[in-house]
Amino acid sequence: MKKLVVLTGAGMSAESGLRTFREMGGLWEEHDVYEVASPGGWQRDRAMVLRFYNERRKQLLETKPNKGHLGLVELEQYFEVWVVTQNVDDLHERAGSSRILHLHGELRKSRSTTDPALVYDIDGWKLMEGDLCEKGSQLRPHVVWFGEAVPAIEEAARVVSSADIFVIIGTSMNVYPAAGLINYVPGTAPIYVIDPNEVSIAGHPQIRVIQKNAGEGVQLLTKEIRNE
C-alpha cells in the first residue's frame, strides 16, 4: 500500500466546534499566548495556565470527531495512513486513526515537572495545583509550549520523507518546526492542501489546493486519489 502522510492543524477540529488559534475569534485573540502557553507563563501564574487548559479540556470532552477525522480513517482502506498532528485534542484517536504522531503533546495527559518521562492520563477535565506525580512534584499539561523542544519532530520527519502522498489539512503553517516538515516531502510526492482559506506555501510546484473545509475536502481528496 502507498503511504499517505497527513499534517493536521487546528482547522481539522474546527467542525467539531474547537476554536483555531489565528483566525478571527481564535484562541490567541483572547489569551496572551506567552502567558498561557510558555514556561515563563507557567512560572509566573501556574493557576492561570492550569485554568486555560482545564477550560479547553472540558470543551474537548463535549466534542466529537467530525467528517474530516472520519474521512482520514476511511482512507486507511486504500493507503497506509500516518497522521502527524499539531493538535493536542484526541479527536483523531477517537475517530479511529491507526497511526498518530502528536507534535505538540496531548491535552488529556499530564506530566511531571521534574521527570518528563512520567506522563499520566487525566481522568475528566481538571488538572489542579496539588496534583502531584509519583515523585511528589506538580503535574503540568503534557503540551509543548512556545520555546520548548518538539520531541516527536525527528520521527515525524522520517515519516514525511517516505510519503508517497502528503496532505496538509487545517494549518496556517505558521509554527516551526511543524511547518518545516513540508521540506521533507519527496519531490515525487504530490502535495494536497485542504483549507477553506488561502494558505501561503511557497516553493512547492507539486501542490494541489482543495479550498474546502476538512469534512468536505477529505471526501473530495478520497475520490481523487483512492485509485492511485
3 strand-pairing partners: 80
Q: Quick one: which segment of 40-48, 106-114, 123-131, 195-203 binds ligand APR (CB under 6 A)?
A: 195-203
Name which of 119 and 150 has its Cβ closer to ligand APR: 150
User: Total binding residues for ligand APR by CB under 6 A?
Assistant: 24
**Whose Cβ is closer to ligand APR: residue 23's or residue 93's?**
23
The yes or no reply on residue 69 touching ligand APR (CB under 6 A) is no
Please name the residue that has the C-alpha cell 509543548.
144
State yes or no: is 104 an active-site residue. yes
Q: Is 21 in the site for ligand APR (CB under 6 A)?
A: yes
- Return the C-alpha torsion angle 127, 131, 132, 134, nearest 10: -80
Q: What is the rounded distance in angstroms from the CA atom of residue 206 to the CA atom of residue 91?
A: 29
Question: Using the rule CB under 6 A, is 20 a contact of ligand APR?
Answer: yes
CA 193 to each of CA 15, 48, 51, 71, 134: distance values in angstroms, whole numbers, following the listed order: 17, 36, 34, 15, 43
- The DSSP symbol for 132 reads B
Catalytic residue among 69, 92, 102, 104: 104
**Run of H or E including 9:** none
Q: Does 71 bind ligand APR (CB under 6 A)?
A: no
With CA atoms as reference, report the closest residue to 195 among 222, 165, 223, 168. Answer: 168
Binding mask 115-154 for ligand APR (x = CB under 6 A): ----------------------------------------
Q: Where does this chain bind ligand APR (CB under 6 A)?
A: 9-11, 14-15, 20-23, 26, 86, 104, 169-172, 174-175, 195-197, 199, 213-214
